[in-house]
Amino acid sequence: MSADLTIAQALRQAQQAGLDRVDAHLLLGHLLQRERSWLIAHDDAPLPAREQQRFDALVRRRLDGEPVAYLLGEREFHGLTLQVSPAVLVPRPDTEVLVEWALECLQQMNAGRPRVIDLGTGSGAIALALRHRWPSADVTALDASAEALAVASANAQRLALPVRFLHSDWWQAVAGETFDLAVSNPPYIAGDDPHLPALRHEPRRALTPEGDGLAALRTLVRDAAPHLRPGAWLLFEHGWDQAPAVRTLLTAAGFEDVQTRQDLAGLDRCTGGRWPGPPRERQA
């Protein structure tokens, strides 16, 4: 970008280069530590050359497909501001459907301190949202990526939300433990999905298990029984066309009340089932 641009000119140049208007305001506001309203009210203010260069660099990275959340270093999820990095997936609004369903399950439980597990926690979004909304829950979060666990743990510390984080290949680290509620947003995109190249800046192993996209879901369902208390729920996020396959997996494994929930666009997004047996009476 040329020297001596005003804020309005810098934003206009970014948009002319192909950047979305909202993204342009977010990136420049983050850079200047100003709200969008300030940018609009002071659009004739000069943008110092150093800030112009930094903004130009952010614009180029965004035009290359890098998520805005990585450029800002944070993402809002279920009322929480989470730090994110390329070590973790960017939390999506659709995943809040899974959180809401999990909260409904907790509401129905007669458990003073329900044990909850989040398998494949990434940034910690689901685990931290549940701990925030259900303070009495005893929450454990697992991930196979040490880098992701570092991000999640930092989020928990910053938000003062106690969660136990474990390095684990799915259920491996919790052998012998049982839970009242298990949730997971595992990698589920098929390895040949044409949308994967557009997601190249996010960790591939968190997006796809390769193959038909169902390998992680199969493993989670197959190994769930020893870790679920009677009446416990197992809830998944999955691809828009995978609900029938996930319902089949859960039903074949012996789960009851198997059902699917839709996302904000009305697409099948989450499927879960209840492990047989009445929930046990538990004390706080």
Q: How many other C-beta atoms lie within 10 A of the C-beta of residue 274?
A: 20
Q: Tens of pLDDT along 64-83? A: 999 999 999 999 999 999 99
Portion of the chain with pLDDT greater than 90, in percent: 94
Q: What is the mean pLDDT of the chain?
A: 95
Instruction: Give CATH for domain 7-64.
Output: 1.10.8.10
Q: How confident is the model at residue 110 (pLDDT cuts 50, 70, 90)?
A: confident
Nearest to 50 by CA among 14, 83, 8, 3: 3
Other CB atoms within 10 Å distance of the CB of residue 134? 18
Q: What is the pLDDT of residues 190-225, one digit of tens each?
A: 999 999 999 999 999 999 999 999 999 999 999 999
Q: Are 19 and 62 in contact (CB under 8 A)?
A: yes
- Which one has a higher pLDDT value, 29 or 282? 29
Contacts of residue 193, defined as CB under 8 A and 6 or more positions apart, other chains included, come to 208, 213
185 is in an annotated binding site: yes
What secondary structure letter does DSSP report for 75? E
- Give me the residue spans of the domains in the chain: 7-64, 78-274
Q: Is 121 annotated as a binding residue?
A: yes
The listed CATH number (3.40.50.2300, 3.20.80.10, 3.40.50.150, 3.30.413.10) that belongs to domain 78-274: 3.40.50.150
pLDDT at 180: 97
Q: 86 among the known binding-site residues?
A: no
The per-residue pLDDT for 3 is 57
Q: Is 120 annotated as a binding residue?
A: yes
Rg (CA), the chain: 21
Q: Do the annotations mark residue 155 as ligand-binding?
A: no
Q: Is 37 marked within a binding site?
A: no
pLDDT at 284 over 50: no
Q: Do domains 7-64 and 78-274 have the same CATH topology?
A: no
Annotated binding residue 140: no
The annotation status of 276 as a binding-site residue, yes or no, is: no
For residue 174, what are its two tokens? Answer: 């919790």
Q: Give the Cα separation of 100 and 166 in Å (integer).
A: 24
What DSSP assignment string belongs to 126-191? HHHHHHHH-TT-EEEEEES-HHHHHHHHHHHHHHT---EEEE-SGGGGGTT--EEEEEE----S-T
What tokens were used for 76?
A: 């809002």
Mean pLDDT of 179-183: 98
Q: Is 212 exposed, middle or buried (0-12, 13-18, 19+ CB in 10 A)?
A: middle
Per-residue pLDDT, 280 = 56
